[in-house]
Amino acid sequence: MKFAVALMAMVPFLFVQSANASPVLVTFSYTFQDNTILSGTVEGDLQADGNRVLDLHNMDATYSGLPGSHFTFGPPYGLTDVLSLNGAPLNFWGFATDPSVLGPHLGFIVSRLGSTNDVTIGTFTTEANLVAYPSGPDTVAAEQFVRASYTASAVAVPEPSSLALAGLGLIGAIGIGRAWRKKA
C-alpha cells in the first residue's frame, strides 16, 4: 500500500508536458564555404510539428572567424525569430555580448524565410526601427544558406514544475523507505 502511494506521488512527474510546445535546448552549427563555423546553443519551445522552435532565449554563440567573438540573442525591434531543426524556416539573430570588444552592432543573422536565403556576419546598421544588413567592409562573412552546411538538434529541458514534482516524489519515496526500515 505504501509503495503504491509513493508511486502515485511520482506519476504526475512522468506525464507533465505542455500540449502545444515543449521547452528544448537547441545546438546549432553553420559551416561557411571557407570552413569557418558559426555555432552555439539557444533555448526555445519546440512546436507540435517537431521542427520549428519559437520563443528563442538564452543564446550563446561563437564564430570561429573572429577569435573572441561571443554572441547572445537579441532580436532587434521585436522581430519574430524562428529556428528549425531541418533548416526551413529559419530567421534568428545574435549580437555581440560585449560591443566594446567587437564593435557596436556586430552580429549575425541566419535567414531562410520567404525570399531571404542567407547567413551573414558583420556590423548591422540600426536606425529608428530598421535594421540593415552589413555591406562592403562591414561584412565579415556572407553567403547564401546551404542546407548541407547547417545542423541543429534539440534536447528536452525539464520545466521547473516537473522538477518540483520529481523532488516531491523522491522525498515521499525516501520517507516511505525509512518507515519500512524502522518496522523491520
Pairing label, strands 125-127, 106-113? unpaired
Residue from 149, 78, 76 nearest 112 by CA? 149
94: helix, coil or strand? strand
- Give the CA diameter of the chain: 79
Cβ-based neighbour number of residue 180 at 10 Å? 11
pLDDT tens series, the chain, 184 aa: 332 233 233 333 323 334 578 999 999 999 999 999 999 999 999 999 999 999 888 899 999 998 888 888 666 556 668 899 999 888 888 888 776 666 667 888 898 877 778 999 998 887 766 677 888 888 999 999 999 999 999 999 876 655 555 566 667 667 676 767 777 6
CA dist., res. 86 & res. 134, Å (int) = 26
Q: Has residue 10 been placed in a domain? A: no
Look up residue 163 and give its three cell numbers. Answer: 522538477
Q: Are 81 and 90 in contact (CB under 8 A)?
A: no
Provide the domain limits for residue 50: 21-172
In three-state secondary structure terms, 146 is coil
* Planar angle of CA 153, 158, 159, nearest 5 degrees: 125
* 120 within some domain: yes
Residue 82 lies in a domain: yes
| Angstrom distance (rounded) from CA 174 to CA 184 | 16
- Residue 154: which of 39, 37, 43 has the closest Cα? 43
Strand segments (E) across 10-160: 21-31, 37-47, 52-63, 71-72, 83-84, 90-96, 106-113, 116-123, 125-127, 130-132, 139-144, 150-156
3-state secondary structure of 74: coil
SS3 (DSSP) at 161:
helix
67 lies in a domain? yes
* Domain-embedded: residue 109: yes
Assess if residue 57 is contained within a domain: yes
Place of cell 542546407: 147
d(CA 82, CA 91): 5
Report the pLDDT value the prediction gives residue 101, as an integer from 0 to 100. 62
- Asked if 75 contacts 62 with a C-beta cutoff of 8 angstroms, the reply is no
Number of structural domains found in the chain: 1
Determine, yes or no, domain membership for 47.
yes
Q: Would 6 be classed as within a structural domain? A: no
